[in-house]
Amino acid sequence: MLFRIVSSSFSILSLFVVIVFLSFVIIYSSINNYNIDQKAVFDSLSPSANVFLSEDGSVLHTDYNEHRFYITYDKIPDNLKRAFISAEDKNFFEHIGIDLSSIARATLQNLYNYIFTNDNNRLIGASTITQQLVKN
């Protein structure tokens, strides 16, 4: 009896998650796609630097955590592109930016791990390269 209740609750929760996710997909797809001016993006990025000042305000040392060099897509070696896609999003060329099957699989696997194994350390993600770029 307890298993039937847990199973029913899991099914209802899974259905709710799918409905919410599909709502987000519909909203996302309804937004007009437009090109962002690349120069505007570059101008908005600030360098991540630590500046060490003396008591009188003069610069003693500048330490950069990241050195960023922006290059165009055609300048990236093909092997690097394939390695990145293989590691981050194997279905990159097969979805529209959101991989529904991976999100459903990860949701079900994480719920299973959380409910039945009580193991929060085995949670998996399903974000695509596109989703990671938007998040950052």
For residue 87, give the amino acid letter: A
Please state the φ and ψ torsions of residue 127, each to the nearest 5 degrees. -75, 140
Structure tokens at 10: 């899991």
Quick: pLDDT tens for 41-93.
555 555 566 778 888 878 788 776 666 677 888 999 999 988 988 888 888 88
Entry pTM = 0.43
Neighbour tally for 95: CB within 10 Å:
14
Amino acid identity, position 55: E
* Cβ proximity of 59 and 53 under 8 Å: yes
For residue 136, pLDDT beyond 60: yes
Q: What is the mean pLDDT of the chain?
A: 76
**So what's the pLDDT on residue 63?**
74
